[in-house]
Amino acid sequence: MSSSLNIGIAGLGTVGSGVVDLLANNTDHINKRTGKFLKLTAISAKDKSKKRNMNINNFDWFDNPCDLAASKDIDVFVELIGGSDGIAKESVEIALKSGKHVVTANKALIANHGFELSKIAESNSIMLNFEASVAGGIPIIKLLKESLAANKINKIYGILNGTCNFILTQMEKTGKPFDEVLIEAQKLGYAESDPSFDIDGTDTAHKLAVLTALMMGNPPDFSSIQVEGIESISSEDITYSEKLGFCIKLLGIVLKKGGKFIQRVHPCMIPVTSSISRIDDVKNAIFVEGNFIGPLVLEGLGAGAGPTASAVVSDLIDISNGNFIPPFGCKLESENHTEKLDTDRFGPWYIRLEVIDQPGVLAEIAAELKNQSVSIESVLQRGRAPGECVSLIITTHETNEKKFKIAMEKIKKLNALTEPPCMIRIENF
């Protein structure tokens, strides 16, 4: 080994501790695969006095990650702080401008600032690697940047958030309501104390923005993603989806149509016969379709210390071997030349309406759907309760999303409804 690659890590949470552990336990195995010896020399975290499963005295300590990023004694700055702005963004910018390679697991940072950071890296001929930012241990970034680089990618979709997948899986298996399963997920460490970024779809959207940028060769465009979470999914929806031959998954989807593309994150009803329907609990799965390679499916653990640390260290190995590839696989232009489509979907829907059981309600609903050329495929009502609230389940044939939403806005105003409708897209993935 000719020399060492000196590494500084900012953030010693689950992932940071996992990286330290992996480098220590797999030293010989890793060094057979590197051009330079991977040497962790410095660390930074919020609280030096916190008890940890490592001897921090073996490393130089920095109270401020920005000081670590500027240190002349490191070659690579590993950012594991999190957050799209603040100290995470500042420290990464300092590292890049100081000529340090950067490895990060921060999907929010890359989704919101990936273009400007990649330009700094390119101008300084250094690497900005972020394999761990999407799907944990699943090597989807490297796949798109390298193995599938010759392909035009037409479609990517998948389960990109293990927390949501766990919640929906447990609701299906146990029949428990959303709130109860969420508490279980928090107790098990699958959900944060504030789970909003997971359950409202933001986390999935951050990851989708990164994948879309790699797919299209354009700057990440998080703001253009249509995002819906799983908060409105009830155990009743889970039950009805099973009766209809579907299961519910939160998917991130990007589809290319000619020179246009659409990005969306939302719950989907997918057939139980679909390969992605069997991906349960905290696992992730990603479907990729290229014009020459055809369809590929990758599945595995999308989070956790081990899988995410594995992705971080794979980026470090690439840097040690001098595998220089632009952060997004190609040099990005300042403008995004690909047109986006926000509501170009044409497909079927599931609707759950809580209504007062009285004559004429279904006729009113059907009339509003008919006015927007939305065709009903099936109607399901469990029992009768004249004058009381009942669930009315409707599925539609394929329809234009804009027209469907116009109809639903009219239906929401009907006096017979007792709560807002639950609407879930049906996808034949």
Work out the burial of residue 188: count CB atoms within 10 Å of its CB; fewer than 13 is exposed, 13-18 middle, 19 or more buried: exposed
| DSSP states along 220-289 | --GGG-EE--STT--HHHHHHHHHTTEEEEEEEEEEEETTEEEEEEEEEEEETTSGGGG--TTEEEEEEE
Compute CA distances 51 → 54, 62, 308, whole Å. Answer: 9, 17, 22
Residue 399 CA, chain-centre distance (Å), reads: 27
Contact 374, 404 (CB under 8 A): yes
The residue count for the chain = 429
What positions carry a catalytic annotation? 207
Give the three-state DSSP class for 100. Answer: coil
Distance, CA of 139 to CA of 150 (rounded, Å): 17
Give bridge partners of residue 29 from the DSSP assignment: none
Q: What is residue 300's DSSP assignment?
A: E
Q: Give yes or no for a contact between 306 and 16, defined as CB atoms under 8 angstroms apart.
A: no
Q: Which residue has the tokens 């997918």?
A: 270
Q: Who's near 350: CB < 8 A, 6+ residues apart?
A: 237, 240, 241, 244, 246, 269, 393, 394, 395, 423, 424, 425, 426
Distance CA 38, CA 3 (A): 9
Q: Is 302 exposed, middle or buried (0-12, 13-18, 19+ CB in 10 A)?
A: buried
Q: What are the angstrom distances between the C-alpha of 116 and each of 83, 111, 339?
A: 16, 11, 21
